[in-house]
Amino acid sequence: MDDTTKNSLGVTNSYPHNGKLMHDYIAKYGVNRAELARKMNVSTTSVYQYAGSPSLQLSILWKASLALNHNFLAELGEKLPVDYITNREAEQKQQIDELQKELEKLKFELSIYKNIVGK
């Protein structure tokens, strides 16, 4: 479920139902709402209200992410129609590129050794 608003330029913007993200995670993994409420230091009623809310405050998403060990903020970021690479992703991409270069080098060296040995 998306909510739709118009900004000052008249452009329609849709955003994901934040509470549904939390609700879906709770349902998928069978999370005990009372236990989640204790971890977040809120009432169980609040957890039910969060699940129904189309828009949650960042502090609620932050607490829920920590309590459930799930990054709801990243999940929302993936839905945002704007390309963005985190610093961690950039570092990982660089590591992958370096490892691929090293692998190619090793494959080349292996082919030379195979030629020398005759296999």
Per-residue model confidence as pLDDT tens digits over 69-95: 999 999 998 888 878 788 988 999 999
Do residues 99 and 107 make contact, with C-beta atoms less than 8 angstroms apart? no
Token readout for 102 is: 């090293």
Q: How far is CA 18 from the centre of its chain?
A: 13
Q: Which of 66-75, 89-98, 108-117 has the lowest mean pLDDT?
A: 108-117
Token readout for 39 is: 């971890």
The pLDDT confidence band at residue 19, using thresholds 50, 70 and 90, is very high
Span between the terminal Cα atoms of the chain, in Å:
61
| CA distances, 40 to each of 34, 64, 103 (Å) | 10, 7, 46
Do residues 85 and 93 make contact, with C-beta atoms less than 8 angstroms apart? yes
What would the mean pLDDT of 26-30 be, rounded to a whole number? 96
The residues pairing with 15 across neighbouring beta strands, listed in sequence order, are 3
The yes-or-no verdict on residue 36 having pLDDT over 80 is: yes
